[in-house]
A and B are shown apart, each in its own frame.
Chain A
């Protein structure tokens, strides 16, 4: 199993450009999430999905779009990048269920917006 994979590892954008951060998992997990990590802020939830075709907003969704057409993939789109979106982005996945299920994190994407 590759686990959770994210591409690219690093990206530099200019203000106003758009891009898609890719996330894929091969564990057949129903739940997937996107977080951003800023210095001194911990990780904050951007968007999450509880299954294919179902997405919802987290704590900091503005400026980001997501879709979930398959169980495996959960891309994060920046429509018009802003310097405030400079951050490290983590994708995570977990199984569904009422009991505890560990979230598995990808290696992260470091994004810089100039």
Chain B
């Protein structure tokens, strides 16, 4: 079984500053993938970034980077240079490698960007 824990109830960040959203996970699988999704108030699920458990380097996608610490079982999302449009709910998720249809999600973190 897989479990994702997101405990930050809500986060605030000033526009143009960086923010870290925490995610810890638990799994018995040797090979797995970690994902972050953004859900704005409009409701759609937007894929942000992916990290494979055997990837040696942390994933980066534009202003998003994933701080992957395998020994600590953490996969924190770092958003640099926050923008007002980053205000949304953020979900951490994982799946066994090759089982992309079986995502396990955390409960999410609300991020609010202040002008």
Give chain A's interface residues, CB within 8 Å of chain B. Answer: 31-33, 35, 40-45, 48-50, 58-59, 88, 90, 92, 94-105, 107-108
Contacts and interface: CB of A to CB of B under 8 A. Distances in A.
A28 B4 CA distance: 30
A43 B50 contact: no
B100 A58 contact: no
Given A42-B106, A43-B91, A103-B103, A97 B98 contact: yes
B101 to A, nearest CB: 4
A50 B101 contact: yes
Given A40-B107, A43-B91, A100-B33, A48 B44 contact: no
A31 B105 contact: no
Q: Is the interface of B mostly helix, strand, loop or mixed?
A: loop
Interface residues of B, number: 24
B104 interface: yes
23 contacts: A31-B100, A31-B101, A41-B107, A42-B4, A42-B108, A43-B45, A43-B103, A43-B105, A45-B102, A45-B103, A49-B101, A50-B101, A59-B104, A98-B97, A98-B98, A99-B52, A99-B98, A100-B97, A100-B100, A102-B47, A103-B35, A103-B100, A105-B44
Contacts of B50: 100, 102
B43 A108 contact: yes
A82 to B, nearest CB: 23
A98 B96 CA distance: 10
A57 to B, nearest CB: 11
B102 A33 contact: yes
B43 A107 contact: yes
A59 B104 CA distance: 9
Contacts of B43: 88, 107-108
A42 B105 contact: yes
A44 B101 CA distance: 12
A58 B104 CA distance: 10
A49 B99 CA distance: 10
Nearest to A110: B43
Contact of B100 (A35, A42, A101, A107): A101
